[in-house]
């Protein structure tokens, strides 16, 4: 459960970074800076992997 909560928070922050980086979310020095778009996309990818690792079935045998 903790991993899912962490993944959701990471995805939220990553989404904000991505939207600001591509210029869709204004009001910050990050607006229209492609560096933040790349960082946001990377955070979303990590969040996806983290969520996947939290819900995948575990086979311990």
Q: How far apart are CA 31 and CA 27, in angstroms?
A: 7
Q: Please say whether the beta carbons of 35 and 21 come within 8 A.
A: yes
Quickly list H helices, the chain.
2-21, 34-55
With 70 as the cut, is the pLDDT of residue 61 above it? no
With 80 as the cut, is the pLDDT of residue 60 above it? no
Higher pLDDT among residues 23 and 57, named by residue: 23
Q: How far apart are CA 61 and CA 17, in angstroms?
A: 41
pTM for the model stands at 0.87
Provide the pLDDT for residue 57: 81
Tens of pLDDT, residues 4-43: 999 999 999 999 999 999 999 998 889 999 999 999 999 9
């Amino acid at each position: 459960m903790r991993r899912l909560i962490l993944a959701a928070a990471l995805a939220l922050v990553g989404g904000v970074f991505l939207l600001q980086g591509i210029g869709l979310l204004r009001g910050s020095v990050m607006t229209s800076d492609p560096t933040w778009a790349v960082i946001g996309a990377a955070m979303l990818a990590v969040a996806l992997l983290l969520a996947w690792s939290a819900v995948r079935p575990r086979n311990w045998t």
